[in-house]
């Protein structure tokens, strides 16, 4: 398994080691949405658009599946009283996005841009989940590719913060070219959960 270490782990040999990601802070905006952090993107299989309050019920219909969260550090997000605060924080963040299937228009999940750092420049992608029927196929790959292509229009680096024990997500993020930067035990930025920090730089993005 993965050892619990506070110190940074090196990236693959020969890779340029990124700086340790500092404490994560939420991205907020006074606008109803930000064209930068809440774009409308479309591929062959998925469409991504700004999250709005009216999306709650359709999104919770996806999130209520406990198996989506079984490896997630916040394993109980399938509960309505736990999901609601996450949904509301997404609305307040100015970076939350709804994901729909192009073929049917059905809501299949959500994701979020957050922790924008213009001085680096970098941004994080996370709070991502998809309906289980969309796992293991083209949906997640296309969604991440759309998000990365958009992000690399205004930053040089994208971070992914993943629960240390979430092997499924860690494996999936590695497949698109992200590298493990370091792990943090009891990370205060994520409710004292053990987290793995992955990074992908503009030249590292897999074009597969």
pLDDT at 24: 47
Task: Flag whether pLDDT at 32 surpasses 60.
Answer: no
The closest of 163, 152, 149, 180 to 21, measured between CA atoms, is 180
Pairing of strands 122-130, 157-163: parallel
Angle between helices 56-63 and 80-93 (to 10 degrees): 130
- Rounded to whole angstroms, how far apart are CA atoms 63 and 83? 8
pLDDT at 15 over 70: no
CB 165 within 8 A of CB 194: yes
Residue 66 has pLDDT above 60, yes or no: yes
Give the confidence band of 205 by pLDDT, cuts at 50, 70, 90: low
Name the CATH code of domain 41-204 (choices 3.10.20.740, 3.40.800.20, 3.40.630.30, 2.60.120.200).
Answer: 3.40.630.30
Phi, psi angle pair for 148, to nearest 5°: -65, -45
- Give the contacts of 24 (CB within 8 A, at least 6 positions apart): 114, 115, 124, 161, 189, 190
Distance in angstroms (rounded) separating the CA atoms of residues 199 and 120: 13
Predicted confidence (pLDDT) per residue in 176-199, tens digit: 999 999 999 999 999 999 999 999
pLDDT tens profile 77-108: 999 999 999 999 999 999 999 999 999 999 99
The confidence score (pLDDT) of residue 68 equals: 96
| Dist CA 193 CA 62 (whole Å) | 24
Domain boundaries, the chain: 41-204
Quote the percentage of the chain above a pLDDT of 90.
76
Is the pLDDT assigned to residue 6 strictly greater than 60?
no
């Amino acid at each position: 398994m993965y050892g619990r270490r506070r110190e940074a782990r090196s990236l693959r040999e020969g890779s340029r080691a990124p700086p340790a990601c500092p404490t994560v802070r939420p991205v907020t905006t006074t606008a109803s949405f930000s064209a930068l952090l809440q774009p409308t993107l479309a591929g062959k299989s998925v469409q991504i658009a700004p999250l709005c309050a009216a999306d709650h019920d359709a999104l919770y219909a996806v999130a209520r599946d406990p198996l989506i969260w079984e490896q997630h550090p916040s394993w109980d997000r399938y509960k309505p009283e736990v999901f609601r605060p996450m949904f509301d924080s997404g609305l307040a963040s100015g970076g939350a996005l709804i994901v729909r299937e192009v073929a049917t228009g059905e809501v299949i999940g959500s994701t979020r841009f957050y922790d924008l750092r213009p001085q680096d420049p970098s941004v994080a992608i996370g709070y991502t989940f998809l309906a289980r029927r969309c796992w293991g196929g083209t949906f997640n790959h296309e969604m991440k590719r759309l998000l990365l292509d958009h992000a690399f229009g205004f930053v040089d680096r994208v971070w992914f913060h993943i629960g240390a024990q979430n092997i499924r997500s860690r494996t999936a993020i590695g497949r698109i070219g992200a590298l493990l930067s370091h792990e943090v035990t009891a990370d205060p930025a994520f409710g004292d959960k053990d987290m793995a920090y992955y990074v992908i730089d503009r030249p590292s993005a897999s074009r597969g």
